Structure 1
Amino acid sequence: MNVQPLHIDAAGPGPDAAAAAAAGPPVVELAGVSKRFGQRAALDEVTLTVRRGEVLGIIGRSGAGKSTLIRCLNGLERPDAGEVRIEGRAISRLSERELQPMRRRIGMIFQHFNLLANSTAAENVALPLKIAGIAKAERMRRAGELLDLVGLSDRGGAYPAQLSGGQKQRVGIARALAAEPALLLSDEATSALDPETTGQILELLRDINRRLGLTVALVTHEMEVVREIASRVVVLENGHVAEEGEVCRVFADPQAPITATLLRSLRPELPADLAARLTSTLGGEAVFRLDLVGEAARAPLLAELAGRFGAEARLLHGGIETIQGRPVARLFVAVRPSPAADLAAIAAFLASRATRSDLLGHVSSAS
């Protein structure tokens, strides 16, 4: 194994390089992968692709199949049906000996760090290189470079007991990068950390992806982690892919009920006191729920309603956030139609502007 010096482009990969990578062969391909444990289908004909340089979020409830999927990706589980390919090579039928060099192409970050207590941070980082037979001087040089990359250049001689949780995870990330992997797998890597430290680790992973062009697959049950770092998301439910797409699109317009459920804590909902006053009886103000993405999320929608229809409109609740550089909004709007414009015309206008528009009901006097 030849370990090259760590070269980092501080500006990150250029657009031409990124476009070339996106057009190139995928790092990961799963084709109809199924895995059963007794009568339970942990994975049910899962098909997905991860492109070079992509950050893919894999999310689902406990028992959805996330852990089995990640074990199939690193060869610890063999599927009962279907094929797993890493950099174009099918790994499902490889012997344990043949799998070893393939596993060196896959870095793993674990929830509970999995550091050796009696080894220093630098020794932990260098461990994959020691197993690969790299000379001590070379592997310690590489460990020093990687500790510097993750912001721990002064902690190489510290033992895990002397490190905070966030520092331990940084060591784990550096170790996962030691063998220059093509794919970095993160298995619930932030779920044992506090919110502030989680944010720091996600920022580090985002920076590594940008600066090294590394492909990352994150397995998590936290939708906020996907929102912060992933470019695309796969939602698992009962072992099958319930939904897949760009994070921005999925957050703006979830198609599967499980996705809407997972997003519930992150998306504004109509306050309970207003929801309790909704009725199907026509009259008063009509209350709409609007999901908008891109320029539509920042458009002067209420002014347009007033100007086009002469309708009184006001914002009841909601918010706008930026995902993947694009604004995504969920707004609750109360509209009182004018005599010159009926509710159907207003509803059609809102539907033309929003990714999703729902008339929730009517209130005699919303407040």
Structure 2
Amino acid sequence: MTISPLGSSPSPDRTTPILRLADVSKRFGSHQALRGIDLSVQKGEILGIIGRSGAGKSTLIRCINGLEQPDEGRVEVEGRSIERLSERELQPLRRRVGMVFQHFNLLANRTAAENIALPLKIAGVGRAERTRRVAELLDLVGLGGRGERFPAQMSGGQKQRVGIARALAADPALLLSDEATSALDPETTEQILALLGDINQRLGLTIVLITHEMEVVRRIANRVVVLEGGVVAEEGPVWQVFAEPASPVTRGLLQSITPELPQRILSTLSSKPPGEAVLRLDFGGERADDPVISDFTQAFGRPARIVGGHVDEIQGRPVGRLFIGVEQSGPDDLKAVMDFLAARTLKTECLGYVRRAV
């Protein structure tokens, strides 16, 4: 379905980022929450901002929606600087920035339809237009015909769908999702992420996801910014950051979803030969589809044994890690094997040796 626009909205130049932060810093007493943050978000992009607790995510999102003013730097929404606007001047701008919250923040004494209509009523939209808009949004989020239910009559996933519809009510240019799936079970999380991806595709809506879950970023984002200690530790296309993380904090965040050497191999691993060399191969990028194992077998005349790992697809690109066992034919053989594989992977590393096939 198509959601009709609500009245007239600003039409920024397509080259102007929907959101831009330039050298943004924020301090609370002696605590430096943000330090020199630079980032921009283009129209239609889904950006994931990830970090551990205390990394600065909450402060960053409050600077974006005008609830906090940075001590230094600029925050621009659709090309307009917001950091020095008065509360009254911020009101129309906040309607251009929708918010989806972790704990839904619905009014318990109002129906789903009334919750969705509330920002429209505050904006002075007439009853007939509110009714039309709410019906469209309920259909968009998969709750058509359920507008008269109260939050207590709805599941967590349904409440979050109402929260998303409410955030879209005023036809925002930017949707901020603040840990929107953290309170949901895995199946419902998948459904909500699929809904956000569908909304992004249908409406061309720009989305910024604030999360501490790498799986959320992997599932939906185009680009990721990793925060640590109030600074940007790393940023880039999601597939690239997942395939070849540059910072220790990113590697730590990825640890829970990164394949590890199976315990049955790890328990017998030795740091010195003799034995079968156990290699870790990291894949991603232009050559990730190459038949590396087959090429190895043809080049060296013997098979490589896959002992573990996983290959995923992120943004249409294969990204993954394999663990293989390779028998050695001589003292210089491993170097030749490593050089051959390193030229065909992002990274190849020898983890040790096992004295027999495990």
Same fold (TM over 0.5): yes
Whole-Å separation in 2 of the counterparts to 1:255 and 1:343: 26
Which of 64, 86, 89 is equivalent to 2:55? 64
1:315 equivalent in alignment to 2:315: no
Q: Quick check: 1:123–1:140 contact (8 Å CA) kept in 2?
A: no
1:1-367 equivalences in 2 (<5 Å): 6-7=3-4, 24-294=15-285, 296-339=287-330, 342-367=333-358
Determine helix, strand or coil for the equivalent of 2:148.
coil
Say whether the 8 Å CA contact 1:107–1:185 is kept in structure 2: yes
What is the RMSD computed on CA atoms of the aligned residues?
1.8
Superimposed CA distance per residue, residues 133-191 of structure 1 (whole angstroms, 9 cap, x where no aligned partner):
11111112111111111111111111111111111100100000011100000000011
User: How far apart are the structure 1 equivalents of 2:14 and 2:289?
Assistant: 32
Q: Distance in 1 between matches of 2:37 and 2:278?
A: 40
Offset, 1:22:
11
Unaligned residue ranges in structure 1 (runs of 5+): 9-20
CA distance in 2, matches of 1:366, 1:214: 53
Distance 1:282 1:341 in 2: 12
Please identify, of 65-74 and 35-44, the stretch whose mean Cα deviation from structure 2 is larger: 35-44
Gaps (5+ residues) in structure 2?
6-11
Tell me the distance in 1 between the aligned counterparts of 2:100 and 2:206.
Answer: 13
Q: Percent identity?
A: 63
Q: Deviations over 1:233-268 (max 9, x none)?
A: 111111111110111011111111111111111111
- Tell me which amino acid in the other structure corresponds to 2:173: A
| TM-score, L = length of structure 2 | 0.94
Would the aligned equivalents of 1:26 and 1:49 in 2 still touch at CA under 8 Å?
yes
Contact 1:310/1:338, CA 8 A, preserved across alignment: no
Q: 2:120 corresponds to which letter in structure 1?
A: L
What secondary structure sits across from 1:102 in the alignment?
helix
Query: For this pair of structures, how many residues does the alignment match?
Result: 351
Question: What is the CA–CA distance in structure 1 between the aligned matches of 2:281 and 2:331, rounded to whole Å?
Answer: 23
Amino acid at match of 1:119: R
Distance 2:126 2:277 in 1: 72
1:110 partner amino acid:
F
Say whether the 8 Å CA contact 1:166–1:197 is kept in structure 2.
yes
Amino acid at match of 1:272: Q
The CA distance in 1 between the partners of 2:3 and 2:320, in whole Å, is 41
Could you tell which deviates more after superposition, 264-273 or 298-307?
298-307
What TM-score does the superposition give when structure 1 sets the normalisation length? 0.92
